[in-house]
Amino acid sequence: MSLQTLKERVWEANRRLHDMGLVVHTWGNASARDPETGLIAIKPSGVSYGELTPALISIVRPDGEPVEGGKPSSDTPTHLVLYREFQGIGGIVHTHSPHATAWAQARKPIPCLGTTHADHFFGEIPVTDEMTPEEIAGDYEANTGEVIVRCFAGRDPLEMPAVLVAAHGPFAWGATVEEAVLNASVLEQVARIAAVTLSLRPDAEPIDDALLHRHFLRKHGPDAYYGQ
């Protein structure tokens, strides 16, 4: 796709995050990767969502070298690690949405307590290990990506397109940046619903595997048929 199209899609994705209340001020960012060139478009650093325009969207190479646009987000190295390691993803979103961030700060995965969650995420949404002092003192943003990658050893990132970075916040992704925005939105909703459920019934258990599989696969499996 053209650089202009890539920039416009990423600008629209960031605008939607703001309109849905998933980001405020300059917190968070969305990016997309062009599958043909490998170039990555991402929100520029320190620019408020109200001031953001397609022209300001940053374009970087897979190694992080800037191509054009504003100064790339400080989270760009995290995005680059995920694009490198997670095959099939074409968009990434990072927010500090309140409920998902609360679970991240609690260092707790979000259990799959009902079918609303199971329709979108195949089981509990994982939380990473806490970063080591050496990782924090080193290439912090790239190491944030590495701790996510370690968390997903043996997992399919397209079956679980979200993660909570311990003490930090959520990341979500998808085959496209539009899917990544949707996944970030659903993540915030299931985080809120799970917190309310456990406040009403602290001993609530995850749904059984049969119900989890039925709901996830009817929407995402090879014979998917469900849509609301």
Q: Just list the catalytic residues.
A: 119, 226
Q: What are phi and psi of 84, to 5 degrees?
A: -70, -40
**Range list of H helices, the chain:** 3-19, 76-85, 98-105, 115-118, 133-137, 140-151, 177-200, 209-220
Q: Which amino acid is at 85?
A: E
Q: How are strands ordered across the β-sheet holding 58-60? A: 66-68, 58-60, 40-42, 29-33, 91-94, 169-174, 162-165
